[in-house]
Amino acid sequence: MDTLPLLLFFLSSILLISQKVVANKITNAGAVGAIVDQSCRNGKEAKVAMEIAIKDVYHKLNHSFYLHMINSERSPIQSAFAAKDLINKQKVQAIIGPQTWEEAQLVADIGNRAHVPVLSLVDATPPWAADRWPFLVQAAPNSFIQMKAIAAIIESWEWHRVTVIYEDTESSTAGIILHLYDALRNSGVEIANLLPLPPYVSSSSMTEELERIKRGQCRVILVHLSLPLSTKLFERAKEMEMMQKDYVWIATETFTNLVHSVNASSISSMQQIVGVKSYFPKKEPDFQYFFNRFRKRFFSEFPDEYNHEPGIYALQAYDAVWTVCQAIIESNYQEGGQKLLHKILGSKFQGLNGKIEFIDHKLAPMRTFQIINVVGNRTLGYWSDAFKFSKRVDGKVANSSSMKSLVAKLWPGFSLTTPRGWAIPTEAHPLRIGVPNGSIFEEFLTRFDAVVGDVTIVSKRFEYAEFTQPYTQAGMVMVVPVRKLTTNKALLFMKPFTKGMWVLTGVITIYNGFVIWLIERKHSSELRGSALNQIGILIWLSFSTLFSLHGEKLHSNLSRMAMVVWLFVALVITQTYTANLSSILTIQKLEPTVTNIETLQNSNSMVGYCNGSFLATYLVNVVNFKRNNIKNYSSANEFAQALRTREILEVPLAKLFVAKYCKEFIVAGPTFKVGGFGFVFPRGSELIPDINKSLLNLSETGELRKLENKMLEREKCEEEDSDDQETSSISYTSYWVLFLLTGATSTVALMKPEVEAEEEETQIEEDMDIRTMSHEEEDEEEEADTTTKLEDSFSEITWKLMFAVIKRQVSRKVSDVENSNSILDWYIHWKLGRKCNSTTIDAYGCGESSDPTNWD
């Protein structure tokens, strides 16, 4: 009993101490408000993450905070009432949330009036929001930059048009769509269709909109919808067979950031959708510690959810709580005010979602995104604003500007082939092609999907259609009749050779004559005399070799050698000259009757053009022809008849026409640049980029030129004419080998006589040293000299006969032949007489014994 008072005193003391501690904690505790939509997945993740963050702040910083959270149920009005309740009753120092712009702007207006900072979890805030509501802070990374990643994906696969389906909310209309449009335009991609869907769209309305997309050509579809609306859209698209081959579906992070929460039955309808997803590091120790606790708490609070893993929205809410709590601690728990706002905007630390830093009242934008396949949430690679596409996020592998460098992509229909991006014509939906026949351009386009023919690209026509690049030479030319070319024939004989050829022929001729004259002058007295006489003989000797043999015989074998080579060269040159001159005289040359536009204008001539062509306006407004002097024609025969006056045509038509009537007409004057011929498609057609690429391939490989030549060959003239072949003069470059040969031969012959002269002088000196010589030896030498002279005479006769045959200019008469035979008989008798030592020689030799029948 004595111990009872002591026990009561001890218990009362402990109670008093504990009350004081609780009182102190309550006095130093901060109050943080939160407004989230707990009916959606991202709101549920944010609620659990903020509750975990409050506990982590207490354990790590030893500061207590009360978290007052209100469910907005996605209602802007309810969010506004919740904000007033948190500020006026709960006395919160800052408010976190909500997650939609419609709710955030009402909460921001209330917080701005009470000077209470509002950290919105909206990922897209208009630029003017900070000026209107200075206490509004965007605590989620800006999602505008993801539009660059989407544009890069579309550009990588060379898709040129895209259909955009977006949720018809104020935030999408004010921000996301404008940034998407800018990003696509910078990548050369055009938005084919903008399809807004209300948040609570009916199934019938969604089916109608999807059917309209299916009827169009564009097959690249970008989806920017919330998770519930995206799931509903994809399920309906699968039912309409729009998740098959040739379709491309691309989803933004509003869907992909929550794709881990989609159940298996719904994910099966999303075959091979490409998505852009916010990236956050998952291997950090802090995230792993948060991840485990989040899964347990989320499962306990929301057991009906399919997946219990945290996403990007949980990390953003967790970091927002830490930002507010640290700012409150640094501002000494002051309730709201400018100082707390300043501390919040000055926050810099490493959160679970990355680096926390605010720029212009907004969290620094996220720079890295994951490229995923929605089915299986498989990562294909990464995209960042600095490094573009890469297989790894750490930058240790090569990056690329194209998504093609990433792992293989399975497209809808489980196809590895990259879709074209536009619908291929089928039997159910054939492509209607029209060929112009003079119809009005605007009416013609309304009936066909494309126009193929001789349609000129004109700027005015772009109001109604789009053109491919020109597939023919662009221009306008003048086609006129031809006439025979009249030339001055006084110097026509000079035409076969060029000036250089004439000069070189003259120089080598004089040089060869000089060599022969120099060698033969010591053997012939006629080659001597006065200087003037020798010059004349030199010139005559040079040029006479071109036409006839010399009357004088040549005494030296060197001069004969030089003469033979030069005669061969001269023969080739004269025959070539004759052939080329004959060609010049026989080929008929034509020239246009009119050479310029001014002549037609000054002479007030009639000018024609193709029926249905734009040339009528061009000739009047640009070339300044009178409208009364312009006529149109519809057939080639009418053209031919009219062109016997004068005519103007576009280049492609002119080529065809001149190919058919090549003997009568010719293209003359300058080429006026116009658009050329191109294929025509309706505005916004998906076919134009691929058609342009195909035309470029045909042009670069030369196939387009071959097709044009093949088309022109069909219009070939009945008789080939050589009007376009002009005989050219022959240059010395074709005969430099022959000139070198004759020049070198003559030079060798010129140098050889000097050596022979030196040897002759040496021989004379040796002969003078011989004092004695027998009479018999002198007779033998005399006899040898006589024989040598006769042999020389026989060689001269043989040489003359040979050159007579080569030149074909010496007529052989019977008497000459007989005379030649007499000389030969005399020579034979003389030789036999010396052998027989007899003066009587019969017809067979030395008397009867020389009868050929007795010869061995």
What are the start-end ranges of the E strands in 377-498? 378-384, 388-390, 433-434, 450-451, 465-467, 476-484
Residue 390 shares a structural domain with residue 244: yes
Question: Looking at residue 460, what is its pLDDT?
Answer: 82
Of 217-226, 395-404, 604-613, the least confident: 604-613
Are 357 and 400 contained in the same domain? no
Quickly tell me which residue has 């009249």 as its tokens: 486
Per-residue pLDDT at 102 exceeds 80: yes
Q: Are residues 52 and 131 in the same domain?
A: yes
**Which of 686, 718, 740 is at the close of a domain?**
740
Q: What tokens were used for 187?
A: 């990548």
Q: How confident is the model at residue 772 (pLDDT cuts 50, 70, 90)?
A: very low
Q: How many domains does the chain have?
A: 3
Look up residue 513 and give its two tokens: 């004559």
Residue 759 lies in a domain: no
Long-range contacts of range 825-832, CB-CB < 8 Å, 24 or more positions apart? 827/790, 827/794, 830/790
User: Are residues 152 and 219 located together in one domain of the fold?
Assistant: yes
Last residue of a domain, one of 331, 363, 395: 363
Q: How far is residue 386's CA from residue 365's CA, in Å, rounded to a whole number?
A: 13
What global pTM score does this model have?
A: 0.62
Same domain for 386 and 272, yes or no, is yes
Q: For position 12, what pLDDT does the model report?
A: 47
Quick check: is 778 in a domain? Answer: no
Rounded distance between C-alpha atoms, residue 318 and residue 310, angstroms: 11
pLDDT of residue 572: 84
Count how many residues are written for the chain: 856
| Statement to judge: residues 171 and 136 lie in one domain | no
Output Rg (C-alpha) for the chain, integer angstroms. 54
Domain closes at, from 363, 394, 414: 363
Task: Give residue 704's pLDDT.
Answer: 83
Q: Is position 617 within any domain?
A: no
In a domain, residue 754? The reply is no
Name which of 243, 245, 270, 246 is nearest 259 in CA terms.
Answer: 270
- Answer yes or no: is 556 within a domain: yes
Give the structural domain span for 97: 20-141+283-363
Do 271 and 400 belong to one domain?
A: yes
The answer on 264 and 190 residing in a single domain is: yes
Please check whether residue 471 lies inside any domain of the structure. no
Q: What is the largest CA-CA distance in the chain?
A: 198
Question: What interhelical angle do 499-520 and 736-769 show, nearest 10?
Answer: 10
Look at residue 387 in the predicted model and tell me its pLDDT. Answer: 83
Q: Is 597 domain-assigned?
A: no
The whole-chain average pLDDT of the chain stands at 77
According to the model, what pLDDT value does residue 18 have? 42
Both 249 and 295 in one domain: the answer is no
Quick: pLDDT tens for 77-97: 999 999 999 999 999 999 998
What is the CATH number for 137? 3.40.50.2300
Statement to judge: residues 272 and 304 lie in one domain: no
Please state whether 393 falls in left (phi above 0), alpha (psi between -120 and 50) or beta. Answer: alpha
Kindly indicate the confidence band of residue 65, based on its pLDDT and cuts at 50, 70 and 90. Answer: very high
Residues 162 and 245 placed together within one structural domain of the fold: yes
Q: Tell me the pLDDT band of 819, cut-offs 50, 70 and 90.
A: very low
Which of the given ranges, 147-151, 411-415, 476-480, 819-823, has the highest pLDDT on average? 147-151
Sheet holding 118-120, edge to edge: 65-71, 30-36, 94-96, 118-120, 136-138, 362-363, 354-359, 348-351
Distances (CA, A) of 599 to 253, 478, 595, 646, 648: 70, 12, 8, 11, 13
In a domain, residue 710? The reply is no
Identify whether residues 117 and 248 lie together within a single domain: no
